[in-house]
Amino acid sequence: MFLRRLYQFMIVYGLGLLMLMGIKALFGLSDYVIPGPGEIWQTARQVFGGYVLDVLNTLQVAILGHILSIAMAFAVGIVGRLTSWMGSMIKTAAFNVQAYPIVAVAPIIFILLGDGFSSRLLIAAMICYFPLLLSILGILSEPVDDIEHFFKMTGRITWRLEVKIRAFQNLHKLTTVIVGSATLAVVGTIVAEFIAASAGIGVSIRRALYQSDLSKILTALFLIGICSSLYLACLEWAGRRLIRRWQAPGP
Amino acid sequence: MSIEYSQRESEAPQVRLLCRDLTYRYPHANHDLFKSLHVDIDGSGFHALFGPSGVGKTTLARLMADKLTGGSGKITTIGMTHILYTYNMERLPGWCSVGDHLHDITPSLRSADMAPLVGTFGIQDCLEAHFSQLSLGQRNRANLVRYLLQEFDLLIMDESLANVDERTRQLIILKLKQMFPTKAFLYISHNVVEVARFCRQILVLRGPRKDPRILDVQGLDCRDRQKPETDQLNRIVLEVMNVS
């Protein structure tokens, strides 16, 4: 799974590079605009160590933001699944707030919290929180009547059991949603770093952009791709393990 | 508008469920499914609810079990505290084996009944398996066993044995009569011979244009595997078929 994710990314990245070289050749662009493969290689060797640390810093914030958003989405989703006014209010609020581009609020967060770790964490969490919340709300609000019936009939149903039944029955959907939102967490962190942060690979890309150094940007993109692919593969692997452990094989 | 549910104690060990003036219409439907329906389930043992598909058997059963909202009328139970409703599409949770689930949901007072029920229902070999690994018939049986391990005065079985073979079904019905002589069962089935043979009272729910909507036919209420007289059985089968 890890290898598959990696070589899939390598193929996409390689095709992207080839396309850039094609554009360079087609339009006769100078090395200043699109550097040649040799120059990209030289730059990559120079900045590799620093960029690896930057990417790991970004990934660390993204993972924490992702975990935070999953926890928040489950907490709010559990309350929001209720058919009471509270549940309706949470659902309506979630649908309306998610329609707003959260990234536009990022400058306010930087003004209030500064350009440190907490701002990046909050933005990463917020960007992946709403899509996660909507999916989790949908899953936890949908009764699994043919399983819940017995527990309701015999007065055994509790909110924990209800959540457990619904989560279990939608384990595949939940893991897919969590894996999908991981990309959003990485995107959120990098966007935060583009805007105003003081650390992370987004900051390095911003600096490279000011220097118009495409080689550095391509190196950063390569490392971001590798790290996010590995993170997604880890989540997929954990999801599959969970499903295998919890669910019995078919008849 | 809602159905009034009431409960009365019974001095004699007698159980009874009375539905009076039961009217029910599904939301957005143009016609009432029932209008001023009277139903009387009197005494313990096997009662059947019989009728063609779509006539409202499941709706009536769910109303009796207080599982549907809306409608009007009065449902009174006498000597009945626990009414359970089970249907054949139910599933057991998939995170544990059938045996673990049965252990989890069996009240300690009823744990002695588990082994005989598991034996009668022929699911000993399924206890280690997960529900998804069972055949349809095994699923029906495992589901019914867990209901029988609960406290109940009336158990409504909505095609609960639909996927079980005839021989096992008969064995199960006879064993239930033997094990639960003071309990009432409302057996919803499309098998006319079976309800005629094993049920004491057959409530035949008829189409919406027929009046009365429900008719009561006496069944043979057989308590052993000995075959009843063919003439007698045929007479009841014909009577049920004619009125339905």
Contact: B134, A251; criterion CB under 8 Å: yes
Residue A86 or B64, more confident: B64
- The domain total for chain B is 1
| Structural domain that includes position B219 | 3-89+152-243
Dump pLDDT digits (tens) for B120-161: 899 999 999 999 999 999 999 999 999 999 999 999 999 999
- The set of residues, in sequence order, having a beta carbon less than 8 Å from that of B191 and lying 6+ positions away, is none
Predicted local confidence at residue A82, as pLDDT: 78
With cut-offs at 50, 70 and 90, classify the pLDDT of residue B217.
Answer: very high
Predicted local confidence at residue A86, as pLDDT: 79
Q: Which residues in B lie closer than 8 A to residue A251 (C-beta atoms)?
A: 132-135
Q: Does A245 touch chain B (CB under 8 A)?
A: no
Q: Does B85 touch chain A (CB under 8 A)?
A: yes
User: Which among B90, B95, B131 has the least Cβ separation from residue A149?
Assistant: B90
Mean pLDDT score of chain A, rounded to an integer? 89
Residue from A145, A149, A168 to probe the interface with B (highest B Cβ count within 10 Å): A149
Residue A245 or B114, more confident: B114
Arithmetic mean of pLDDT, A82-90: 77
Query: B-contacting residues of A 6-65, CB under 8 Å?
Result: none
Domain positions in chain A: 51-246
Dump pLDDT digits (tens) for A92-143: 777 777 777 777 888 888 888 888 888 889 988 988 888 899 899 999 999 9
Smallest Cα–Cα separation from B10: which of B76, B80, B79, B82? B79
Predicted local confidence at residue A251, as pLDDT: 53
Residue from A150, A151, A245 to probe the interface with B (highest B Cβ count within 10 Å): A150
Residue B218 maps to a domain: yes
Arithmetic mean of pLDDT, B94-106: 94
At B149, list the tokens. 């391990």
Contact: B93, A165; criterion CB under 8 Å: yes
- Confidence check: pLDDT of B33 > 80: yes
- Picking from A77-91, B56-70, B230-244, which range would have the lowest pLDDT averaged per residue? A77-91
Q: Does B207 touch chain A (CB under 8 A)?
A: no
Arithmetic mean of pLDDT, B52-71: 91
Q: Which residues in A lie closer than 8 A to residue B142 (C-beta atoms)?
A: none
The pTM is what?
0.83
Q: Does B231 touch chain A (CB under 8 A)?
A: no
Residue B159 maps to a domain: yes
Arithmetic mean of pLDDT, A220-245: 90
**CA-based radius of gyration for chain B:** 18
The amino acid at B130: H
Any idea what the CATH number is for the domain that residue B78 is in?
Answer: 3.40.50.300
Peptide bond into B212 cis (omega under 30): yes
The CATH architecture one would assign to domain A51-246 is: Orthogonal Bundle (1.10)
Q: Does B94 touch chain A (CB under 8 A)?
A: yes
- Confidence check: pLDDT of A85 > 90: no
Residue B135 maps to a domain: no
- Confidence check: pLDDT of A250 > 60: no
Q: Does B102 touch chain A (CB under 8 A)?
A: no
**DSSP secondary structure string for all residues of chain B:** --EEEEEE--SSS--EEEEEEEEE--TT-SS-SEEEEEEEEESSEEEEEE--TTSSHHHHHHHHTT-----EEEEEEES---EEEEETT----TTSBHHHHHHHHS-GGGHHHHHHHHHHTT-GGGTTSBGGGS-HHHHHHHHHHHHHTS--SEEEEESTTTTS-HHHHHHHHHHHHHH-TT-EEEEE-S-HHHHHHH-SEEEEE--TTSSSSEEEEE-----SSSPPPHHHHHHHHHHHHHH-
The Cα A128–Cα A196 span in angstroms is: 19
Mean pLDDT score of chain B, rounded to an integer? 91
Q: Does B68 touch chain A (CB under 8 A)?
A: no
Contact: A150, B86; criterion CB under 8 Å: yes
Residue B209 maps to a domain: yes
Q: Does B65 touch chain A (CB under 8 A)?
A: yes
Question: ipTM of the assembly?
Answer: 0.91
Residue B21 maps to a domain: yes
Residue B233 maps to a domain: yes
Dump pLDDT digits (tens) for B156-214: 999 999 999 998 999 999 999 999 999 999 999 999 999 999 999 999 999 888 888 99
Residue B73 maps to a domain: yes
Residue from B82, B90, B104, B151 to probe the interface with A (highest A Cβ count within 10 Å): B90
With cut-offs at 50, 70 and 90, classify the pLDDT of residue A227.
Answer: very high
Contact: B105, A154; criterion CB under 8 Å: yes
Q: Give the CA dihedral A42, A46, A52, A55, nearest 10 degrees.
A: -80
Predicted local confidence at residue B13, as pLDDT: 64
The Cα B240–Cα B244 span in angstroms is: 6
Predicted local confidence at residue B9, as pLDDT: 72
